[in-house]
Amino acid sequence: MKGVLRFEKKGKLSPRFVGPFEILERVGPMPYRLALSLSLSVVHDVFHVSMLRKYVTYPPHVVDYKPLEIDEKLSYAKQLVEILTREVKMLHNRRIALVKVLWRNHKVEEATWEREDDMRAR
């Protein structure tokens, strides 16, 4: 299996299991037909029961849906929620003030570093 491209990742970091997928039908005593996503359209949709695992619900897998206001260009305006931290970086004897910004409709892990003077101008 060395160097094999499995589920779009190569080597040891490729996932052993992907999913969850809905079971469409039981084909025989052991094989099941699954409703695979379009990205897996090249994979045969019938699997032996030994290749399947029961999906156990896990709270981080639930997507927190908050409606976005989308304009005609299919984009939305970023709105500042909170400044998490400040930092000053030195770049060739020049100080650049940065702030870590939490945006609306984003998680804390998705906060970005922005220039402080740009954020003040906004």
Per-residue confidence in pLDDT tens, the chain, 122 aa: 444 455 555 666 666 777 788 899 999 999 999 998 877 777 788 999 998 988 877 777 665 556 656 667 777 677 788 888 999 988 888 898 999 998 887 888 888 899 888 888 87
Count of C-beta atoms within a 10 Å radius of residue 36: 18
pTM above 0.75, yes or no: no
User: Please, are residues 55 and 65 in contact by the beta-carbon 8 Å criterion?
Assistant: no
Closest CA to 22 of 51, 48, 45, 50: 45
Closest CA to 18 of 3, 37, 42: 37
**Residue 80 phi, psi (nearest 5):** -70, 130
Q: Which two tokens stand for residue 41?
A: 């359209």
